[in-house]
Amino acid sequence: MNINYLASLIAVIVLFLLVYVGVEAAGLRYFFGVLLPYLAVIIFIIGFVKKIVGWAKTPVPFRIPTTCGQQETLSWIKPAKIDNPTTGSGVFVRMLLEILCFRSLFRNTKMELREGDKLSYEWEKWLWLFALAFHYSFLTVLLRHLRFFLEPVPGCVKFLESIDGFLQIGLPGIMISGIILLAALLFLLLRRILIPQIKYISLASDYFPLFLIIGIAITGILMRYFTRVDIAGIKELTIGLVTFHPTVPDGGIGGLFYVHLFFVSVLIAYFPFSKLMHLGGIFMSPTRNLTTDTRATRHINPWNYDVKVHTYEEYEEEFREKMIGAGLPVEKES
């Protein structure tokens, strides 16, 4: 057993008990259903904005993109316009591919020592594949949830649902995104637990969001497919939240819903203080989002300052005689 994932798992279980007992025994429905979600959103917005502003206000003194292809140089050599972008549009495409397709992760290889002393590098696509699966299914689930916050439900959300539920198995219809989300989460969790190197580098803060989102996914799936929940009551609550007329419907909504909502609240409140901020950071990474025409266009460092230099005069002063002796030109003859 590893203290890092154990601690995270226990934390999520404690959170579960907290809300379940809080709602079922103490009846704190308004607290968990209204106050905490509002608080979480406030924390999220302030925390997120503060973090982004903090990064944005920090200068970029040097232009240090990682060049991953041929530079733009002589006219007859084909430059890598995306991997070594000299123009804004090149950077835009590079960032787009990075953000939407996880391009750098796509390059991932797995190193192995074979036959005793031969290094080999094999394309390792699973991390990339499951990372993509996780992010896109999570996004889909998130967008589907707009149905709970908008009345009438917009056509695009209905359309998304119809694609998501194209399998049409059973009743209610299976939403493929939820299944993929849970599967991807389990993959990401298991690789942290089973691959020794990944386990070694993993912190509690790597397991915690995984367990938390797994909790969110499981409670969501339970509500949708396995238990009866009062959808109308839930929608009354969620619409109340977004229209700033919060109400807590009497009864009907089970404890499971409050667990779901509480986990989501914890996740978004936790977000700005955690590694999840890679959501914002990826847009601002100086090794990716800058042009590489560093010799063609001068980059300005706002805090550039003068430094002490060993001048030519000082140099000649020290070596003048030797220079003259060797026939090297000097500024002053003696």
Q: Binding to other proteins (CB under 8 A): which residues in 33-52?
A: 51
Closest distance of CB 262 from other proteins, Å: 20
Give CA–CA dist 296/189, Å, rounded. 46
Question: Does the protein bind other proteins through residue 307 (CB under 8 A)?
Answer: yes
Question: Does the protein bind other proteins through residue 329 (CB under 8 A)?
Answer: yes
Secondary element (H or E) of residue 119:
strand 118-123
According to CB under 8 A, which residues from 249 to 278 bind other proteins?
273-275, 277-278
Q: Exactly one of 88, 155, 228, 322 binds other proteins (CB under 8 A); which one?
A: 322
In this structure, how many other beta carbons lie within 10 angstroms of the beta carbon of residue 137?
Answer: 23
Closest distance of CB 284 from other proteins, Å: 6
Query: Nearer to other proteins by C-beta: 227 or 304?
Result: 304
Q: Please give the DSSP secondary-structure letter assigned to residue 225.
A: I
Binding residues for other proteins, rule CB under 8 A, total 100
Question: Does the protein bind other proteins through residue 87 (CB under 8 A)?
Answer: no
Question: Does the protein bind other proteins through residue 187 (CB under 8 A)?
Answer: no
How is residue 174 written in tokens? 């299976």
Q: Exactly one of 29, 37, 72, 140 binds other proteins (CB under 8 A); which one?
A: 72
Q: Exactly one of 41, 205, 239, 255 binds other proteins (CB under 8 A); which one?
A: 205
Give CA–CA dist 63/44, Å, rounded. 31
Query: Nearer to other proteins by C-beta: 61 or 154?
Result: 61
CA dist list (Å): 111 to 45, 120, 228, 292: 41, 6, 49, 30
Query: Nearer to other proteins by C-beta: 59 or 154?
Result: 59
Give the residue from 184, 183, 180, 209 showing the smallest Cα distance to 130: 184
Q: Exactly one of 88, 170, 172, 327 binds other proteins (CB under 8 A); which one?
A: 327
Query: Nearer to other proteins by C-beta: 73 or 243?
Result: 73
Buried (b) or exposed (e) across 105-117, using 16+ Cβ within 10 A?
ebebeeeeeeeee
Q: Exactly one of 1, 152, 194, 298 binds other proteins (CB under 8 A); which one?
A: 298
Query: Nearer to other proteins by C-beta: 47 or 233?
Result: 47
Closest distance of CB 271 from other proteins, Å: 12
Question: Does the protein bind other proteins through residue 244 (CB under 8 A)?
Answer: no
Question: Does the protein bind other proteins through residue 177 (CB under 8 A)?
Answer: no
Adjacent-strand bridge partners of 120? 112
Query: Nearer to other proteins by C-beta: 69 or 173?
Result: 69
Q: Please give the DSSP secondary-structure letter assigned to residue 114.
A: E
Give the residue from 145, 138, 141 showing the smallest Cα distance to 209: 138
Query: Nearer to other proteins by C-beta: 84 or 177?
Result: 84
CA dist list (Å): 251 to 35, 184, 228, 258: 18, 34, 13, 12
Q: Exactly one of 1, 312, 332, 333 binds other proteins (CB under 8 A); which one?
A: 312
According to CB under 8 A, which residues from 93 to 122 bind other proteins?
98, 102, 104-105, 107-111, 113, 116-119, 121
Question: Does the protein bind other proteins through residue 226 (CB under 8 A)?
Answer: no
Give CA–CA dist 174/166, Å, rounded. 8
Contacts of 300 (CB under 8 A, 6+ apart): none
For 202, list phi and psi in degrees, rounded to 5.
Answer: -80, 135
Q: Please give the DSSP secondary-structure letter assigned to residue 115.
A: T
